[in-house]
Structure 1
Amino acid sequence: MPAVPLTEWLRGQDDQMLADLLRARPDLAAPPPPDIAVLAARAGSRASLTRAAESLDTFTLAVLDALVVADADQHPVAAERVAELVGPEASTSRVRAALDRLVALALAWGSAEYSVAPAAREASGLYPAGLGQTSPVLEGVDVAALLETLPEADRRLLATLAHGSPVGRTRDAAVVVPLERAETPVQRLLAQGLLLRRDAETVELPRQVGLALRGESPLGTVRLDEPPLRTTRRSDVDATGAGEVLELVRRAENLVALWSVEPAGVLKSGGLGVRDVRRLARELDTDDRGAAFVAELLFGAGLVADSATATNPEWMPTTAVEPWLVAAPANQWATLAAAWLDLPRLPGLAGMRDAKDKVLAPLSDDLRRPPAPVERRRVLAALAELPPNTGVASPDELAEVLAWRAPRRGGRLRDEIVRWTMTEATALGVVALGAITSAGRALLDDGPAAAAKAMAESMPEPVDHVLVQADLTVVAPGPLEPTLAIDIGQVADVESAGSATVYRVTEASVRRALDTGRTAEDLHELFRTRSRTPVPQSLSYLIDDIARRHGRLRGGTATSFLRCDDPVLLAEVSAHPTAASLELRRIAPTVLVSPLPLAEVLDELRKVGFAPAAEGADGQVVDLRQAGHRVPATARVRRGGPPTAPSEERMREIVAQLRAGDTAAATRRGRTVSLTAGGGAADTAATLALLREAIEQNGHVLIDFVDSRGVASQRVVTPFRVGGGILEGRDKVNDTVRQYPLHRITSASLIASS
């Protein structure tokens, strides 16, 4: 029975099936195909077939391979034959279910007998199911009987190729000799046609031989069922995750504080250098990978960025960091977690080497991988399938399960992505003890706002007190209230963080608090009212001793200065009303200082009649005029991810357009008027005349129409009114009355009567 072309088969499907197909394979709808023929061409292309096959599990892929092995691209293949190739362990009903899945994706078509597109053979790889090419020499030969006559060494060699790669490399393939002169197993097998010579060093096992050696399992070892996944159940998942969140937020805040004072340099090739990563790891009290991950999180959230200056670009916080720093910890976490979930990068690649042995730097474009968000969500979705508080015993087992569900996804880093995702999600508190947390589940299902609320419920209640120890340490028995955390952070340094944070009061930390304007009395009051333990005398003595010496020597800020050997002229300047606006202050009889830039000070003084000049560090006069305007560096353009499925409304429009395009393609055109030649009023008049003629004859017209999105399509319309720049008529495909602006109609044709 000849195969039905994919185009004809698609035409016979209902609108719901076509809509489901476009939803499952969104690349087919971008841009919308004008008719079924174009849809079929896209669906049968190698690129689209390969992309669709990435969503198939191991068993369904085995069924697709069976169709390819059975040459379903050349003639229809019965379901029984497919089941026979898959092997006796697969039930017929399960094979048919897999076939139904392939049909729903248009990777195969048919009911009792099935066909696949020719490109399916390319999409399955050079050797589908590990089988080589068919050998014409063995057609009609009883291969099984021939194999029985072979020596053990020859059979062992063939078995190795049959159950592994069908291609082998050997020097014995240099020359093909007659059987009677053959000395090695390879030479004998080549002489008998049981091996095919590809070149002087390569041989290939013919498909007939591979099938014969595999016996009842023609496709080889096929893992029919999903691997078992060991799980554990814990009651402290959310609490453990909340503890990780507090640590992550602390490290993120520390990074912001560090780069606010000492920004990290940007490598010439982009990214963060090894020295800066190690410094960051020391400051954040983590390893290099942990430090790189925090930096990637803040970068993904837009809280740090490349300054993009022409010389010495640096990594530093952005203005977006200010509201983030004052937000509640749960909201801070939600910002970072949402950024990570959609981050088109793989932080786990940081520190690894590429094919050229170059180290992949954090924050560089080398870590960019657009499919990363999809793969990340796959891992979390697998965890979300488990009951609440139930986690996986091992990330490796989860990687094995996901590899079975989609063996062609993820590329060579497929399993590593699963492990990286689990590690990163655990550091983020999205996963804890191998289970997805309540906040992580909310992030996946409902977004950052719901996730922040769930995380706030999981976090311990803030405490309003500390415990001051005799060794000048201050213990916070939980997360501190925001105001108390700021106060303690000013006067003490974090020594160790966790569920109970330990601070240490030092001479430098007390001086830092006094520098912010706090007095000794303020610090005594802070510890007296907030400590649940008696304040040790050593702490009081330390505060008083530092306060006595603090501020005796004072310094100020001066951006510019004015000097003059004539004190009278300098007194005249300082007495002028402009001196107040310039904030000029006399620090010596011949010196005035100002916090304003020198160029601004000089301009203002010149406006009121003075004639100052600028001088450099060597006392020579310098020119402060700008060399010219500068433009900001152009932001790097980020490519979008894979196409997403159209909305339901748009899906219906596309399917209707497909039907209309098919109807138009099958329509016989009569007289045609085109508006694309720019004929102006003459063409418009001819179009109106043609449409009125169709109305008078109660006939149909075929119009080429461009919608508001700029998408061109063809419509068969029964017109019944034209005027005011509008054609109104009934769409023949979906039997609805529509209005078509005349300026969007590029051509119109009368439909010839049959």
Structure 2
Amino acid sequence: MSARPLGMAPLARLLARRDDDELAALLTSRPDLLRPAPADFTGLAVRVQSDMSLRRCLQHLDAAQLAVLGEVAAAVERDAAPELPADARTARILAELRARGLVFDRAEDEAGSADADATAAADSARPTVAANLLGVLADLPRPRRVGETPLDPPTAAAAATVPPSLVRNGALAAVTELLSAVEDLLGVLAETPAATLRTGGVGMRELRRLTVARGAATKPGDADVGETGWLLELTAAAGLIDLDVDSDRWAASRLARRWLQAPRHRRHQLLVSAWLLAPRSPLLVRGPHPTARPAPTLTAERQRGDATTLRMRLLAAAGRLTEEASSASASDEAAEKPPQLYTLRMPDDAEPGADALAGPLLERLAWEAPVPTDRVSGVLPPMVREAERLGLLAAGALSTFGRALLDGLAADSAEEPDDPGSLARGAAALAERLAESLPPLVEQVHLQSDLTAVPLGAPTPDLAARLDQLAEKETRGGAPTYRFTAASLQRGLSAGWTAEGIRAFLAAHATAEPPSSLTTLIDDAARTWRGVRIGGASAWLLESDPEARQALLDHPELRRLGLRPLTEQVLVCDASPAELSRTLKGVGVAAVDDDAPAAPSGSAAGAAEARPAEESAAAWSLIASPWQRTPVRTLSADADPAAVRRAVADLRAGRGASGAAAVTEDSDVVALLRTAVRSGQPVRLHRVDTQGREHPARGVPTALNAGRVRLRTAGGEEAVLLVHRITAATLDDAASTPEPHHRQEAR
């Protein structure tokens, strides 16, 4: 008895001999077998050895399991015993492969044979595999065997370490630059939305325009254009921009205005949450050809349903490597230094090469899931670059913010790691860590005689907005540089500033007296500016007493209404006259209403006043990506325990009919039918109907497609048979006239 590959009939018998726990383990490890639930063991055998199910199962094997499986398959092909180490680790891997329905023991099927001699018994103890698995393994990019693949996962224990300060500073710099870049892009889109192509998406010409407008480059290259495309994808995934169906342009959304006023750690939290959930391919990938330019952005072609899983796999592998290296360090000082997990080589002027990503991180990913890693190896380098832009990775190591994200996910270990709720809480934990690490915002600027202003750190949103109105931003980052020009000052005058207001603003925020060159430029700009100022106001009040007027302007309740001076005696505000009157009475000031009746109490001003100033952390984490409106669906990775129990019970109920079908031949049915179709040879078939009854058939197969075989009988009739109901097939060497066979397609 040799360990030849299993055909469908013996495979069904082996599955029927498994107990309930073993069947439940099989269905749990391969949940695709439950969609739909198999009606009998013949149907289960067809599913277990089908190409699609086997390929899905191989996606979840690590390198050690794949190497042992490859060794067993090679031994089955040469009809010999596999050369496997006789240790507990190999035995454990074989048990895992048996539980998944990838490896079987012939001894299970031949246990009832009393005539088997010692040699046959030894042969029957050899592990074997389903016949279809041999072809599936042959299609893998790199066959793996024991001895060529380490059975233990790679670690970063021997890798070089990175100074923690370098990782921390690199991550903080990346976060600051990203927030500044998104702010600039939103400012550009607020003025001129991005036009789309007729075929959809934002094309190269529009990307170049946006790149120049946001000040990234005056003559943008492919790298600059690709950066703008990435920012567009990120802001769209966060809901900061949306597509206007009327104009077919991408413009800043309402959320963008709230985002610009939010604290930095909350802004970053929304971007990280959007990146984790977006079902989009890595946003830095160029076109399909190696010499192609960056592909159009915001197109449907960038949809990728497994993007969230890939990102979480990447970060989780980095977290495991970092934790293992820290645990293996002999000293506490060495344990605090993160290991260097990767080296990234992505030139700006060329497509990344085969060595774009190297190091323990890639080795660990390739060991934990060899089959999918081979398939996605081209998108891993840009995905790592995206994680660096978000501050999750820095200097080749996992940053403290990336570890905070993983710690937040670990707190919800009962849920799926890529569950939207779990990802939202992980992003919130990252934001709290970032808030502790970011330097405080500043309100002071240093004015220089060359007409530039340099904040003493990261400016507050209010200071940055005012400087953007009055000056041109020359450099980006944590402490940007602004330059005052005649055109920029006149732009500020058109926005409502006055020369006195500009000088008062600079005096309040400058570290020293403004230089004379700047004050002269302000006066010249005001003198040469031509225009009128307009504005809006919902209510006004008249107060001639200067002290009472100043008291009204300083009162917090009135300041919330937007109360401001218009002339020396007239003050205006944004609230309705009725709202202003109620507020004045509430602070003890009598008011006479000279206008028409007030607006309803549910006015927009009242609603804006009632809105809370601060929002919770949950408000800045997405639970669903805006891109999920498109039809992208993925199967759940887990099987429902209740569905597994029901499927096992249903299989047991039909075991007598389907599991014990009388079959005398053991062959690869599909391979034999293909051979018969090519050669035109007649075959003898055994098939099982829905009631478990066996029917023989003889004829010449003429076609094999979509799980069906077309059989021409002796009488010239043609029958269409379902392949998964054929339990055995042999070539009819006698070439006798096939018996008449009436068409009876099994369902």
Normalising by structure 2, we get a TM-score of 0.59
- The answer as to whether partners of 1:65 and 1:128 remain within 8 angstroms in 2 is no
| Structure 1 position 391 matched with structure 2 position 340 | yes
| Structure 1 position 257 matched with structure 2 position 187 | yes
Could you say what secondary structure the match of 1:347 adopts? coil
- The answer as to whether partners of 2:442 and 2:460 remain within 8 angstroms in 1 is yes
Where structure 2 has 5 or more consecutive residues not aligned to the other structure, the ranges are 109-124, 218-223, 324-335, 344-356, 410-424, 537-626, 658-747
User: Could you report, residue by residue, the CA deviation over 1:24-70 in whole angstroms, capped at 9, with x for unpaired residues?
Assistant: 43333444556666555433321121111122233321221222222
- Residues 467 and 128 of structure 1, relative CA distance in 2, 3 Å threshold: closer
- Residues 507 and 451 of structure 1, relative CA distance in 2, 3 Å threshold: same
**Bigger CA drift: 56-65 or 248-257?**
56-65
User: Could you report, residue by residue, the CA deviation over 1:124-181 in whole angstroms, capped at 9, with x for unpaired residues?
Assistant: 1258986xxxxxxxxxxxxxxxxxxxxxxxxxxxxxxxxxxxxxxxxxxxxxxxxxxx
- The answer as to whether partners of 2:237 and 2:275 remain within 8 angstroms in 1 is yes
Which residue in the other structure is 2:648 paired with? 659
User: Could you report, residue by residue, the CA deviation over 1:624-681 in whole angstroms, capped at 9, with x for unpaired residues?
Assistant: xxxxxxxxxxx9962334322447xxx331132123313432589xxxxxxxxxxxxx
Take 1:515 and 1:552, find their aligned partners in 2: how far apart are those partners? 7
Could you say what secondary structure the match of 2:505 adopts? helix
Take 1:313 and 1:380, find their aligned partners in 2: how far apart are those partners? 36
Task: Give the C-alpha shift of residue 234 in structure 1.
Answer: 2.1
- Residues 302 and 218 of structure 1, relative CA distance in 2, 3 Å threshold: closer
- Residues 410 and 71 of structure 1, relative CA distance in 2, 3 Å threshold: same
| Structure 1 position 124 matched with structure 2 position 137 | yes
| Structure 1 position 362 matched with structure 2 position 297 | yes
- Residues 97 and 114 of structure 1, relative CA distance in 2, 3 Å threshold: same
- The answer as to whether partners of 1:228 and 1:401 remain within 8 angstroms in 2 is yes
Task: Give the C-alpha shift of residue 551 in structure 1.
Answer: 4.6
- The answer as to whether partners of 2:34 and 2:647 remain within 8 angstroms in 1 is no
**Bigger CA drift: 38-47 or 472-481?**
38-47
Take 1:664 and 1:365, find their aligned partners in 2: how far apart are those partners? 47
Which residue in the other structure is 2:520 paired with? 541
Task: Give the C-alpha shift of residue 503 in structure 1.
Answer: 1.4
| Structure 1 position 82 matched with structure 2 position 68 | no
Task: Give the C-alpha shift of residue 7 in structure 1.
Answer: 5.0
- Residues 226 and 653 of structure 1, relative CA distance in 2, 3 Å threshold: closer
Could you say what secondary structure the match of 1:70 adopts? helix
Which residue in the other structure is 1:285 paired with? 216
- The answer as to whether partners of 2:454 and 2:481 remain within 8 angstroms in 1 is yes
Take 2:500 and 2:192, find their aligned partners in 1: how far apart are those partners? 32
Could you say what secondary structure the match of 1:316 adopts? strand
Which residue in the other structure is 1:158 paired with? none
Which residue in the other structure is 1:409 paired with? 372
- Residues 456 and 239 of structure 1, relative CA distance in 2, 3 Å threshold: farther
Take 1:556 and 1:127, find their aligned partners in 2: how far apart are those partners? 69
| Structure 1 position 306 matched with structure 2 position 295 | no
User: Could you report, residue by residue, the CA deviation over 1:722-748 in whole angstroms, capped at 9, with x for unpaired residues?
Assistant: xxxxxxxxxxxxxxxxxxxxxxxxxxx
Letter in 2 for 1:239: N
Which residue in the other structure is 2:464 paired with? 485
Q: How does 1:352-751 map to 2 (within 5 A)?
A: 352-354=287-289, 360-385=295-320, 386-387=322-323, 389-394=338-343, 395-397=357-359, 398-412=361-375, 414-444=376-406, 445=409, 446-552=425-531, 638-646=630-638, 651-665=640-654
Take 1:279 and 1:350, find their aligned partners in 2: how far apart are those partners? 20
User: Could you report, residue by residue, the CA deviation over 1:281-326 in whole angstroms, capped at 9, with x for unpaired residues?
Assistant: 33252622221111111122232233344xx632223333232222
User: Could you report, residue by residue, the CA deviation over 1:158-208 in whole angstroms, capped at 9, with x for unpaired residues?
Assistant: xxxxxxxxxxxxxxxxxxxxxxxxxxxxxxxxxxxxxxxxxxxxxxxxxxx
Take 1:82 and 1:402, find their aligned partners in 2: how far apart are those partners? 27
| Structure 1 position 102 matched with structure 2 position 102 | no
- Residues 360 and 529 of structure 1, relative CA distance in 2, 3 Å threshold: closer
- The answer as to whether partners of 1:57 and 1:407 remain within 8 angstroms in 2 is yes
| Structure 1 position 48 matched with structure 2 position 27 | no
Task: Give the C-alpha shift of residue 244 in structure 1.
Answer: 1.0
- Residues 390 and 355 of structure 1, relative CA distance in 2, 3 Å threshold: closer
Take 2:510 and 2:370, find their aligned partners in 1: how far apart are those partners? 58
Take 1:494 and 1:357, find their aligned partners in 2: how far apart are those partners? 32
Task: Give the C-alpha shift of residue 521 in structure 1.
Answer: 2.5
Where structure 1 has 5 or more consecutive residues not aligned to the other structure, the ranges are 85-89, 131-216, 558-634, 669-754
- Residues 68 and 314 of structure 1, relative CA distance in 2, 3 Å threshold: same
Take 2:64 and 2:430, find their aligned partners in 1: how far apart are those partners? 36
User: Could you report, residue by residue, the CA deviation over 1:684-705 in whole angstroms, capped at 9, with x for unpaired residues?
Assistant: xxxxxxxxxxxxxxxxxxxxxx
Task: Give the C-alpha shift of residue 439 in structure 1.
Answer: 2.4
Letter in 2 for 1:235: P
Residue 248 of structure 1 is aligned with which of 163, 178, 197? 178
Which residue in the other structure is 1:58 paired with? 63
- Residues 490 and 220 of structure 1, relative CA distance in 2, 3 Å threshold: same
- Residues 334 and 396 of structure 1, relative CA distance in 2, 3 Å threshold: same
Q: How many correspondences in the alignment?
A: 489
Task: Give the C-alpha shift of residue 221 in structure 1.
Answer: 4.5
Which residue in the other structure is 2:667 paired with? none
- The answer as to whether partners of 2:405 and 2:426 remain within 8 angstroms in 1 is yes
User: Could you report, residue by residue, the CA deviation over 1:245-302 in whole angstroms, capped at 9, with x for unpaired residues?
Assistant: 1111111121122122222221222222112222333325262222111111112223
Could you say what secondary structure the match of 2:453 adopts? strand
Task: Give the C-alpha shift of residue 424 in structure 1.
Answer: 0.9
- The answer as to whether partners of 2:225 and 2:294 remain within 8 angstroms in 1 is no
Task: Give the C-alpha shift of residue 222 in structure 1.
Answer: 4.5
- Residues 34 and 459 of structure 1, relative CA distance in 2, 3 Å threshold: farther
Letter in 1 for 2:384: M
**Relative contact order: is structure 1 or structure 2 higher (C-alpha 8 Å, sep ≥ 6)?**
2
Could you say what secondary structure the match of 2:242 adopts? strand
- The answer as to whether partners of 2:72 and 2:82 remain within 8 angstroms in 1 is yes
Could you say what secondary structure the match of 2:53 adopts? helix
Which residue in the other structure is 1:269 paired with? 199
- The answer as to whether partners of 1:83 and 1:95 remain within 8 angstroms in 2 is no
Normalising by structure 1, we get a TM-score of 0.58
- The answer as to whether partners of 1:443 and 1:451 remain within 8 angstroms in 2 is yes
- The answer as to whether partners of 2:452 and 2:481 remain within 8 angstroms in 1 is yes
- Residues 552 and 419 of structure 1, relative CA distance in 2, 3 Å threshold: closer
Take 2:141 and 2:258, find their aligned partners in 1: how far apart are those partners? 56
Task: Give the C-alpha shift of residue 422 in structure 1.
Answer: 1.3
Could you say what secondary structure the match of 1:498 adopts? coil
Take 2:367 and 2:196, find their aligned partners in 1: how far apart are those partners? 41
- Residues 242 and 7 of structure 1, relative CA distance in 2, 3 Å threshold: farther
Letter in 2 for 1:502: T
